[in-house]
Structure 1
Amino acid sequence: MTTLLTDAPPGRRALRTVLTPWRLLTPLGRGVLGVGVLAVAVGVALRWHEFIQLGTAAICMIGLGYLWQALPGTPEVGMELRPDRLVEGGSRAQVLLSLRSGAAPMLFPRLVLPVGTTTVSARFPFLGPFARHEELLDLPPLPRGVYAVGPVEHEKSDPVGLVSRLFGSGSPRELLVAPRIIDLPVFAGGLTNDLEGATSQQLSMSDLAFHALREYVPGDDLRHVHWRSSAKAGELLVRQYHETRRGHVTLLVDHAVPAYGTRRDFELAVSVAASIALRAVRDEFDTYLRCGSHLARGRTAVAVTDAACRFTQGADDYLAVAADAATEVPGTGLVIQVTGSARPLAELHEAAGRFDQGADWLVVRADSRSSASRADSARLREVSVPALPALRDVLGRGLR
């Protein structure tokens, strides 16, 4: 990181300028400088020429170290992230580090690479003037999240290691670690894709999916009278239809800390939501996935996994998030709420009430301390998932 001295007061900039040479000294360099000054002082006081010579030699070594820093040619450092997206628990990411020395040779230079809050390092061999070398590093296994990788830091040090300067090169790159997912072979056994959308249980007087015939009621459109059946029955009968909607799925992930028994349950909830969302995307449903302020919408798998990488826990504003989502995706056909074991059912009903009353509902509870279960009611279907593989079993009969 480069510090802009122009942002500091003049007095502070002057102090930094004076202290910069001292900061370049390594602990060894400061020790050698202290010994040199002390030896010269003792030699002058006691007229011991050997001490004066020893101290002078030590101070000269420090001076040579500063001259080494002034040699022309700044080393060039490169970094290539392979790949920049991966799945938790899968293959590890790698970083290709390249170093090209300047006019001065480099004695076993060490490169340091920040990865999130940790660092990895590589020791390079001796590099002569303008030599180039590459090293491939394996990054450690990383949990789900977004990590800043870089910038690469390297030390320019004299051969003895008395004076050293740290250089940062390039800009950080983002490494996205997606949650674990499971493939759901069939998304929503009751969701039927056709050219106009997905049929629902809501009845309509004007649509495409025929349901049944019923008696004519004053006010019904005469265009929907089924004349042949009316003639046989001796009374007017009109067609009734299933309402069809555009294939749209909304998934809300509860990000409130109190909603989950453990942090592990929240990670399970993210994996569950991502697995369902990816299945919906593959089945060409418009998908809206949201957790707090982070969301993804559309029909692309990359958008879903990238958003899931950024999901974090926070304050309990779930009802406000649900209300906002209902405004952004009106008329959604299926709403799935993914939460923990501690979220009261009454609050889930309240969140569901923010959406279209004709939408279908599913509640998935991520609870590692429970067993896989499924309960159906007139308004909501609720399932409990103790582990990700159980998701396929509890959803085996579809989502509606």
Structure 2
Amino acid sequence: MSDRAGTRGGAARRLAALRPSRFVGPLRLLTPLGRGVLATGVVATALSVRLNWLEFTQLAVVAFGLLLVALAWQVLPGAPSATIVLRQHRTIVGASPPVAVLAVEAGAVPMLFPRVVVPVGGRTVRLRLPFLRPFSRHDEVIELPVMPRGAHAVGPVSYEKTDPVGLMSRRHEMGGVLELLVSPQVTDLAVFAGGLANDLDGATSQQLSMSDLAFHALREYVPGDDLRHVHWRSSAKAGQLLVRQFHETRRGHVTVLLDGSRASYPRARDFELATSVATSVALRAVRDDFDTYLRCGAHLAHSRHPVAMTDAACRFALEDGDAYLAHAAEAAGSVAGTGLVVQVTGASRALVDLDMAAAQFGRGADWIVVRADSQGETAVRDSGPLRELSVPDLARLQDLMARGMR
């Protein structure tokens, strides 16, 4: 018996604890005006009972009647619906603001000049729509705010359903979430293709070979040379055997590594400049039909298509840790025999780290380091096997790349 009594007592306590939660929902729907009307109704009821005044009774009936109408307005079936369509899913920093089309369809209850909120990244677009009759539809063209580089979520659309008096309000979220990609500013590196010569196999390097496609010069024959490479006409004129010497060619691979460590950049805008530099180099390589590998942190693109490069650049972000060398090793393992490695970093990255990252690709690859330093000076300098370019702004990148590739 004691066990049964304890079980019943526990169930009763749990039931009692659950009862107040039934009233939490409607109370949360009350607006400040609704709370004032509710308080007025309670006070008027108490005074009517105590003083037996008809005026207070009428006031209480009106207050609670308005609250019941507001509650009925909220529970009526037929919720509104909305969809949002982006006219362009991709844009560039500094371009005209993107445009979206918002389609709102009312439910069984008319929408009284509804307020609609459209989240765009960390910002919001607030709209006041016209009166919508039950089951009517309205299309609204909205201009989204100018957003920085990144991948921004657009939606879901939220709507405050409010009764005619404004006593109760409930937020409805409608539609899905779309993605707006804002790519960095880039510059056209017209001279990049001239620095990396295209041929049937790929890009030429500065390494010399005795058997390849890119002709370099003639030299004297030494024992062991392949007689197929003897240039007989020149040998007859010179009176000695001369053989052709070639530039060693590789497959058309270009690897662009963007340093994503926060400690490498004294200023946040330097990372945005570095992102623009890395994307510009990757796009030039893609347009020259090179197989391009672009990476920053965990985000990468390995393709010959420009859209893949810009979409990946939208997601590049600074990280608190320093995994640059590990990411360089992963890139070297993914891209075998790359002809050019371009490392884009900030002013604070140590040169020894860049040399170690380049060494992951083998000493046969060409290396270029581009430092994005908005407060530095334009410079091209050789630091051992690495050629360093210091870029203070994107406009000077084209000239620096032309000097750096020679």
Whether TM-score is above 0.5 comes out as: yes
Provide the C-alpha distance between the structure 1 equivalents of 2:197 and 2:17, rounded to a whole number of angstroms.
70
CA distance in 1, matches of 2:20, 2:204: 74
Match of 2:405 in 1: 399
Q: Secondary structure at the residue paired with 1:97?
A: strand
1:96-121 Cα distance to aligned partner (Å, 9 max, x none): 11212122221111111111122111
Taking the TM superposition and a 5 Å limit, the aligned residue runs for 1:100-119 are 100-119=105-124
Structure 1 unmatched ranges of 5 or more: 1-8
CA gap 1:14/1:219 in 2 versus in 1, 3 angstroms: farther
2:366 aligned partner: 360
- In 2 relative to 1, CA 392–225 (structure 1 residues): closer, same or farther, beyond 3 Å? closer
Q: Deviations over 1:367-398 (max 9, x none)?
A: 01112111235612111111111112212346
Kindly provide the amino acid, as one letter, of the partner of residue 74 in structure 1.
A
Do the aligned partners of residues 43 and 350 (structure 1) sit closer, same or farther apart at CA in structure 2, a change above 3 Å counting?
same
1:124-273 equivalences in 2 (<5 Å): 124-226=129-231, 237-273=242-278
Deviations 1:111-167, CA, capped at 9 Å, x for gaps: 111111221110011122222222222111111011111000112211001122211
Residue aligning to 2:35: 30
Contact 2:380 / 2:404 at 8 angstroms: preserved in 1? Answer: no
In 2 relative to 1, CA 14–350 (structure 1 residues): closer, same or farther, beyond 3 Å?
Answer: farther
Q: Is the 2:188–2:280 Cα contact (8 Å) retained in structure 1?
A: yes
Q: Which letter does structure 2 place at the counterpart of 1:366?
A: A
- Distance in 2 separating the partners of 1:166 and 1:160: 16
- Give the structure 2 partner of residue 294 of structure 1: 299
Q: State the alpha-carbon separation in 2 of the partners of residues 145 and 41 from structure 1.
A: 59
What SS does structure 1 have at the residue aligned with 2:62? helix
Partner of 1:46: 51
Deviations along 1:200-249, one digit per CA (max 9) or x if unpaired, are 11111221222234445554444444556667767655432211112211
Change (3 A) 1:14 1:43: closer
Instruction: Look up the SS of the partner of 1:53 in the other structure.
Output: helix
Find out whether 1:369 has 2:375 as its counterpart. yes
State how far apart, in whole Å, the 2-side matches of 1:11 and 1:352 are: 70
State the match for 2:281 in structure 1: 276
What is aligned with 1:5?
A: none
* 35-44 or 334-343, larger mean C-alpha shift: 35-44
For residues 15 and 333 of structure 2, what CA distance do their matches in structure 1 show? 53
Distance 2:368 2:284 in 1: 16
Distance 1:134 1:242 in 2: 63
Corresponding position of 1:341: 347
Counterpart pick for 2:75 among 70, 77, 100:
70
Quick check: 1:151–1:171 contact (8 Å CA) kept in 2?
Answer: yes
Residue number in structure 2 paired with 1:331: 337
Structure showing the higher helix proportion among its residues: 2
Unaligned runs of 5+ in 2: 1-13
Q: Which amino acid aligns with 2:277?
A: V
Name the SS for the 2:83 alignment partner: strand
- The one-letter code matched in structure 2 to 1:113 is V
Query: Is the deviation greater in 150-159 or in 215-224?
Result: 215-224
Q: Deviations over 1:249-288 (max 9, x none)?
A: 1110011111111000000000111111111111111111
TM-score computed with the length of structure 1 as normaliser: 0.92
Distance in 2 separating the partners of 1:10 and 1:270: 59
CA distance in 2, matches of 1:13, 1:353: 67
Residue 104 of structure 2 aligns to a residue in which SS? strand
- Equivalenced residues, count: 392
- Checking the alignment, whether the CA contact within 8 Å between 2:193 and 2:288 is kept in structure 1 is no
Give the SS at the match of 1:180: coil
- Matched letter for residue 374 of structure 1: V
Alpha-carbon distance change, 306 to 117 in structure 1, aligned in 2, over 3 angstroms? same
2:392 is the alignment partner of 1:390: no
Residue 330 of structure 1: SS of its match in structure 2?
coil
TM-score, with length taken from structure 2: 0.90
On the 8 A contact 1:188/1:398 being kept in 2, the answer is no
